[in-house]
Amino acid sequence: MHDAVRKVDQAYTASRDAIMKANDCDSIYTAAKNYAYLKYRVVRLQYYLEIMRSHIDEVSEMNERCGAQIVGFEYELVDMMDKFFASADADYHSGNCRTKDRCYYHQHGIV
């Protein structure tokens, strides 16, 4: 993108200078050529911008969709954890937890 902007800037400068210096057939032809190249570079830059807008729209849509799902997942996870810990007593954890370093009950000495 930076390269495209640089090329538009260079084409603009070349076109402006050629148009301002045009005073005969050859210089008018050069100015027209530079102007045509400037139009081409501007169209290319607009194309790149449209592609970026499209990608940004896709990312924004995904972000909104996933953001809403994450909130729902968090609610479901907390609800599931509350139900599990309410139903499981300390004896369950002493006999069934294989990963004692990650078990809340083992970490806090409740077992």
Domain that holds residue 42: 2-107
Three-state SS string over the chain comes to CHHHHHHHHHHHHHHHHHHHHCCCHHHHHHHHHHHHHHHHHHHHHHHHHHHHHHHHHHHHHHHHHHHHHHHHHHHHHHHHHHHHHHHCCHHHHHHHCCCCCCCHHHHCCCC
Residuewise pLDDT in 10s, the chain (111 residues): 789 899 999 999 999 999 999 999 999 999 999 999 999 999 999 999 999 999 999 999 888 888 878 877 888 888 888 887 777 776 776 677 777 677 766 666 665
pLDDT at residue 110, as a whole number: 65
pLDDT at residue 107, as a whole number: 67
- Count how many domains the chain has: 1
pLDDT at residue 108, as a whole number: 63
